[in-house]
Structure 1
């Protein structure tokens, strides 16, 4: 079931009304991640999208999902500060091993946003004019929590992956779950470019390598990597990438 604010969502139009993309309707386009994600999840009802089902079945720690709910454009606290991360779809599910959560980040070929270094620099500029801001503190704390390192040591990695993983872990911990999945739901469409898909894959692989202390070299499409555990976490973290291929044209969206 897909719901937002207590109301069920059963159509793409209802999804847009209840959970428009953060950037507004200007980004609600065929071939781009916000609309493609809504179409994929709504079309699969009452089941999960097929590629997500296949992804979960790829790992022995997961079994067929017995029940689930999904919240699009979910604000999921990862710390005590204002402005929680915005997760494209937050899934709360149960299988034979119990409850777990999946934080879904939808991507066509859009980037993962700013790097950790760029986000910290932005936060520090903001701090100069707003002394009460906790943005820079948040950057430092989330990198310490996820990888035990400072922003300087992971400056080239993408901040969105850190916040999404931290949100998934926090959501699992609040509910007493032992499994948290960060899932990249990728859409290969006529509007996307192969070189940008490759860049995103490399970014995810670098993050996986660092957060797992080198135990995971990369995240293959259709596979879940993990579990990743740290003493300070209340749940194990898994990383996955599910791909939906709808491209009818050639490479890079060309005829």
Structure 2
């Protein structure tokens, strides 16, 4: 995986990093909605900033990487964060794994994921539980994606010397679909009762202070249209010249 990154000039450029751009880059879907929400923000989207500020005063976005992959043991597939953010609050570095949602679920349950058992899957699940400090058996109904997404935030916190890690669900669902799955994960990690537009601290995990957040996104981005390019005098002249050539 390359360590060279190029800044995005528009939300449309995010599509190239998706596993299947044709399938996932569609109006009303989470990948496109999330991209427009974050690309057009000056730093964090305002609703995200407001929730994070409860735990991290004056938090500042330093770097945001779309579709950021974090390798995990026990197989070749990484944890692919919709966005991974490196931030700073009061002199402390914060690692944030962002999961965008509209109506999509958090993938298969742990039971469904383990249907075809393998040594690799056992190794990965043990690793995820170790990183998150889960001592008891993982409930079959828990969504597997929540485990590896939270772990990816912890892994990157260690890699970049961050004191804090956050797994943040940025949901654009108008009916809060799949919130109960998130709430079950908060409960598993010993957090207080989960609620929307809030951040919950669940203690130190693998030496990193871990926090979980659910933020309701601005629904205007569900139907955001691609901006039309403005015609400059030069581009207008070029178009006229091309038209004249075909007369």
Is TM (by shorter chain) over 0.5?
Answer: yes
Unpaired runs of 5+ in structure 1? Answer: 128-132, 249-255
Determine if the alignment matches structure 1 residue 13 to structure 2 residue 38: no
Given that 1:63 and 1:97 are in contact with CA atoms closer than 8 Å, whether structure 2 keeps it comes out as: no
- Map of 1:130 onto structure 2: none
- Moved segments of 4+, more than 4 Å: 78-81
Given that 1:184 and 1:242 are in contact with CA atoms closer than 8 Å, whether structure 2 keeps it comes out as: yes
- Tell me by how many angstroms 1:64 deviates: 1.2
SS at 1:229's partner residue? strand
Aligned residues: 219
Given that 2:44 and 2:61 are in contact with CA atoms closer than 8 Å, whether structure 1 keeps it comes out as: no
- Map of 1:223 onto structure 2: 198
Of 91, 96, 106, 1:112 maps to: 106
- Tell me by how many angstroms 1:136 deviates: 3.0
Unpaired runs of 5+ in structure 2? Answer: 222-247
Given that 2:65 and 2:85 are in contact with CA atoms closer than 8 Å, whether structure 1 keeps it comes out as: yes
Q: Partners in 2 of 1:170 and 1:65 — Cα distance? A: 20
Given that 1:29 and 1:35 are in contact with CA atoms closer than 8 Å, whether structure 2 keeps it comes out as: yes
Please tell me whether Structure 1 or Structure 2 has the larger radius of gyration of its CA atoms: 2
- Map of 1:24 onto structure 2: 21
Q: Partners in 1 of 2:84 and 2:207 — Cα distance? A: 18
Q: Partners in 2 of 1:23 and 1:136 — Cα distance? A: 28
Of 182, 189, 194, 1:211 maps to: 189
Given that 2:164 and 2:208 are in contact with CA atoms closer than 8 Å, whether structure 1 keeps it comes out as: yes
The 5 Å alignment of 1:140-219 reads 140-146=126-132, 147-150=134-137, 153-188=138-173, 194=175, 197-198=176-177, 200-212=178-190, 215-218=191-194
Q: Partners in 2 of 1:184 and 1:66 — Cα distance? A: 18
Q: Partners in 2 of 1:144 and 1:74 — Cα distance? A: 22
Given that 1:64 and 1:95 are in contact with CA atoms closer than 8 Å, whether structure 2 keeps it comes out as: yes
The 5 Å alignment of 1:82-97 reads 82-97=76-91
- Map of 1:48 onto structure 2: 44
- Tell me by how many angstroms 1:34 deviates: 0.5
Determine if the alignment matches structure 1 residue 135 to structure 2 residue 131: no
- Tell me by how many angstroms 1:149 deviates: 2.6
What do you get for the CA RMSD once the two structures are aligned?
Answer: 2.3
